[in-house]
Amino acid sequence: MMDFIEVIYSPNAPKAIGPYSPCIKLGDFIYLSGQIPLNPISNKVEFEDIESQTKQVINNIRALLLEINLDLRHIVKTTIFMTDLSMFDKVNAIYQEYFTHPYPARSCVEVKALPKGSLIEIECMAIDTTRYENVNMNDLQGGCGGCKGCK
């Protein structure tokens, strides 16, 4: 297997229900497979309403990110799959409880069906920016120190 790819699992997120990884980390890039509203303990969809299902999906995403010390703020792109776009406003209301400005880029599409009878599935991409967030900006203002042009 490729040593530079890290597969991420979490005991607080559902196991994959097929031949795929729930989350892959490649350098600073994190790719999360579509998450459906499975309870990670029962591995079943336990809620019938779109609001509760949306919360479960986002909590599953958060659990995977927490395994690598990231959170929802590191997500840069989401794709939402819904079986009924008439519930779009309800999903937006929940989404806004979890994400803040600057919001991730996003697409939302209606699909005929989702695994396990889910109403919603969300896949996303994140970037691990933690090493850049901890850089002291004063260190960068002096330039590289390697030439007169940077000083």
User: Model pTM?
Assistant: 0.86
Catalytic residue among 23, 108, 124, 144: 108
- What are the residue ranges spanned by the domains of the chain? 5-150
- Report the distance separating Cα 57 and Cα 68, nearest Å: 18
Report the amino acid identity of residue 40. P
- For the question of residue 147 being annotated catalytic, the response is no
For residue 47, what are its two tokens?
């809620």
Degrees (nearest 5) of the Cα angle 67, 70, 75?
Answer: 120
**What pLDDT score was predicted for residue 47?**
95
Are 8 and 23 contacting, i.e. CB atoms less than 8 angstroms apart?
yes
Mean pLDDT value of segment 48-58: 98
**What pLDDT score was predicted for residue 3?**
75
How many helices and strands (H and E) does the chain possess?
A: 4, 6
* pLDDT, tens only, 3-36: 789 999 999 999 988 999 999 999 999 999 999 9
5-150: CATH topology is 60s Ribosomal Protein L30; Chain: A; (3.30.1330)
Mean pLDDT value of segment 93-106: 96
